[in-house]
Amino acid sequence: MTPILETKNLTMQFGGLTAVDNINFKVNPKEIVALIGPNGAGKTTFFNCVTGVYKPTSGDVLISPTGKDQQRINGLKPNNVTEKGLARTFQNIRLFQNMTVLENVMIGRHSKLKSGILGAVLRTKATREEEKKVIQDSYEILVEVGLDKFVNELAKNLPYGAQRRLEIARAMATEPALLLLDEPAAGMNPHETKELDEMIIHIRDSKQISILLIEHDMSLVMSISEKIFVVDYGKLIAQGSPDEIKNNPEVIKAYLGDDSDA
């Protein structure tokens, strides 16, 4: 089976600092994979390398959204990566604050649409139909994540948990093959985390896509992920099923510190 995302010896250096060090990583189709590690371990940098925000210093990022040939996407611009089927959310919410909830989702559909300036000015039949369809599609996505009651509300006026959900809805609108969630449960209470948990599994099951998440909430990570990768100081120190990770001495050391330190 071709993995949907694979990195080979991925390295990212900022000056003398190696934030991501030789990471070999794999996400298979329809898998929920978690990337964990202490603060500053290089998780978000890894995300940024994959999604095109940073250009990796060396190594390969290979994707195969359709399950066929792998393509190398190093150095591609983020919008092109998104077009290829990788969508992401952000650690600190980055919604379009002064746009309505519906418009936020409509932006997610952007790369799937064609109409240009001339079409918009002349309001051609194709543009009108496309516009009608994008409004309907976006609304349905909002219904799916339970945000339809906020349709015309400005994104900045939403409660925190709903903003997090809207970010996921916006990413889903790009019809990704792989959804990358950067700390989706940050700042949520246990009840909201549980709802999120159900939502992520629902998305995977209904859309048949893979999900890669960075998360600090261990109960969420352990309950939903099928495979866990652990990074520390930019290096991959362990990988395996939740049970294997729980009992891995390396991981315990990374999180709780070495005996000799104590």
Partner 1 sequence: MLDILKYFKPKELKKSLLISLWFMILTFPIMVIKVNTIENTVLWRWGSLVGMGIGSFIMATLWRYLLERKNMQNPLSNKKTLQMKVIDWANANPKVKPVLLIAISLFIVSFPFITSMYQTSIMTTALMYIVLGLGLNIVVGLGGLLHLGYAAFYAVGAYTYALLNYHFGLSFWICLPIGAGLATIMGILLAIPVLRLRGDYLAIVTLGFGEVIRIVLENWNALSFGPSGIANIPRPGFFGMHMKLQTATIYIYFIMIAMVVFTIFVVRRLENSRMGRAWIAMREDEIASESMGIDITKSKITTFAIGAFFAGMVGVIFAAKTTFINPASFTLWESLMILCVVVIGGTGSIVGVIVGAFILILLPEYLRAFSEYRMLLFGALLVIMMVFRPGGIISNIRKKYKFEPTKESSNASQKGAE
Sites of contact with partner 1 (CB under 8 A): 51, 53, 77-79, 82-83, 87-88, 90, 94-100, 102-103, 106-108, 110-113, 115-117, 119-121, 123, 127, 130-131, 134-135, 139-140, 143-144, 146, 148-149, 151-152, 154, 170-171, 174
Torsional class of 175: left (φ above 0), alpha (ψ -120 to 50), beta (otherwise): left
Residue closer to partner 1, measured from CB, 83 or 226: 83
| Tokens coding 107 | 């932006």
The alpha-helical segments, DSSP class H, found in the chain are 43-51, 78-84, 101-108, 117-122, 125-144, 160-172, 190-207, 218-224, 242-246, 249-256
Give least dist CB 204 to partner 1, A: 18
Residue closer to partner 1, measured from CB, 58 or 97: 97
Give least dist CB 14 to partner 1, A: 17
Residue closer to partner 1, measured from CB, 78 or 242: 78
- Answer yes or no: are the C-beta atoms of 38 and 234 closer than 8 Å: no
| Tokens coding 69 | 């040939």
Give least dist CB 187 to partner 1, A: 18
Give least dist CB 246 to partner 1, A: 32
Residue closer to partner 1, measured from CB, 165 or 204: 165
Residue closer to partner 1, measured from CB, 40 or 146: 146
Give least dist CB 70 to partner 1, A: 21
Give least dist CB 49 to partner 1, A: 13
Cα separations (Å) of 131 from 74, 101, 112?
33, 16, 12
Residue closer to partner 1, measured from CB, 139 or 233: 139
> What counts of helices (H) and strands (E) characterise the chain?
10, 10
Cα–Cα distance, 51 to 40 (Å, whole number): 19
- Answer yes or no: are the C-beta atoms of 4 and 20 closer than 8 Å: no
The strand pair at 17-27 and 5-14 is best described as antiparallel
- Phi/psi at 205 (nearest 5 deg)? -70, -40
